[in-house]
């Protein structure tokens, strides 16, 4: 018998850095959702939460360590995925989303960066930083959050919305990215991007198969009421082909990639949460002397596979010095979404409700402007 040490991933949230009530509210919601997963909920395609601890001004979310990397990196490396691979992984994404919706949880920030791949090539959804627990599926929400390029029309037009359809829209953008290596809605400035999303007009490349195109179109329905649900999605022909059980992971080099974008790898990863750091550790939390975490030895039978190779402990880079938002966009582009309600003459005084939405969106895009597949 040999003793091995368990590996964990720990998300550390520093409550002292909260500058707005929204940030505090999001953190408390994430804490509640993760506590729910730690005490009862579990799904094979969602990162397992072991415990949620609070100490002074810190929240520690202790999770399993998934060492396979992000779906974003897989798409970036191959500039898109082979359809059998995309089909298998996307079905697992939908199964995970269906599970949380069945338990009245909405994610609201689904994107390839929040989808991990474990060492067995299985999908694992993570990061419920913008998640929320709803009373029922038809509950109307009015918190506008998430990542701009994956946001639904009702989100970018500041319209009260239901949570599940917003998640399904994001899934549609993810599927488009998996199959094409690009995003359906792109814009160099926020108003331009918002206008394209609100119109819901996009072009699917001709090499995408008919069934896959149909599923994308049903996921990216501009009308949230007509958008496909997770249950309907799992019964869609593209996710239930006769050969699905024989699908294996294929590299996208087996497909024709001439029409796909080639500058995907030029994008850099940005940590949108300056108040949060993620650590991977083997025994105790790094640089946190007040932590109550202790080394947890575990006895594992010799017949089991050896533990993973040592990993250098790193903090995600502090985002305080990453002025990416202000470098990309001047102040004239930092406006609320293009919407008839919000489009007035420059000299006209904004209504209180407009001021509210404007401040909400400014806060959102300062903290969550994301890597683009362009």
Q: Is 166 left (phi over 0), alpha (psi -120 to 50) or beta?
A: alpha
Q: How far apart are the C-alpha atoms of 17 and 288, rounded to whole Å?
A: 16
Do the beta carbons of residue 123 and residue 117 sit within 8 Å?
A: yes
Q: CA of 2: how far to CAs of 88, 96, 163, 219, in Å?
A: 36, 35, 47, 49
Closest CA to 138 of 220, 199, 229: 229
- Residue 127's nearest CA partner among 57, 268, 29 is 29
CA distances from 183 to 26, 171, 197, 248, 268 (A): 27, 12, 11, 25, 16
Q: Which of 51, 57, 102, 109 is catalytic?
A: 109
Residue entry with tokens 């004239």: 332
Pairing of strands 161-162, 276-281: unpaired
In 3D, which of 174, 181, 224, 171 has the Cα closest to residue 200? 224
**278 CB-near residues (< 8 Å, 6+ apart):** 9, 10, 11, 12, 315, 316
Is 109 a known active-site residue? yes
Q: Pairing mode, if any, of strands 276-281 and 8-14? A: antiparallel
Residues annotated as catalytic (active site), given as ranges = 109
């Amino acid at each position: 018998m040999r003793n091995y040490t368990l590996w964990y991933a720990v998300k550390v949230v520093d409550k002292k850095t909260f500058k707005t009530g929204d940030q505090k509210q999001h953190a408390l919601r994430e804490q509640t959702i993760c506590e729910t997963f730690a005490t009862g909920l579990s799904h094979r395609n969602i990162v397992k939460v072991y415990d949620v601890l609070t100490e002074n001004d810190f929240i520690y979310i202790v999770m399993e360590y998934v060492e396979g990397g992000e779906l974003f990196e897989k798409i970036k490396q191959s500039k898109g995925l082979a359809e059998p691979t995309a089909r298998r992984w996307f079905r697992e994404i939908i199964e995970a989303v269906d599970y949380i919706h069945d338990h009245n949880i909405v994610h609201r920030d689904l994107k390839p960066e929040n989808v991990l791949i474990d060492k067995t090539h299985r999908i694992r959804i993570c990061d419920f930083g913008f998640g929320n627990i709803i009373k029922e599926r038809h509950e109307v929400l009015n918190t506008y959050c998430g990542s701009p390029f994956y946001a639904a029309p009702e989100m970018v037009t500041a319209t009260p919305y239901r949570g599940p359809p917003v998640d399904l829209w994001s899934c549609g953008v993810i599927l488009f990215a998996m199959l094409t290596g690009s995003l359906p809605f792109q814009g160099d400035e926020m108003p331009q991007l918002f206008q394209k999303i609100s119109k819901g007009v996009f072009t699917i490349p001709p090499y995408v198969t008919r069934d896959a195109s149909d599923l994308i179109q049903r996921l990216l329905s501009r009308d949230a009421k007509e958008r496909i649900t997770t249950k309907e999605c799992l019964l869609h022909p593209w996710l239930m082909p006769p050969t699905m059980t024989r699908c294996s992971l294929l590299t996208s080099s087996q497909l024709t990639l001439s029409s796909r974008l080639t500058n995907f790898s030029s994008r850099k990863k940005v940590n949108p949460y300056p108040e949060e750091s993620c650590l991977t550790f083997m025994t105790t939390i790094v640089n946190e002397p007040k932590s109550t975490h202790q080394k947890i030895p575990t006895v594992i039978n010799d017949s089991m596979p050896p533990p993973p190779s040592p990993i250098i402990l790193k903090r995600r880079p502090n985002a305080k010095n990453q002025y990416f938002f202000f470098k990309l966009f001047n102040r004239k582009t930092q406006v609320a979404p293009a919407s008839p309600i919000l489009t007035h003459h420059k000299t006209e005084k904004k209504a209180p409700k407009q001021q509210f939405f404007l401040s909400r969106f400014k806060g959102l895009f300062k903290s969550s402007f994301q890597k683009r597949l362009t």
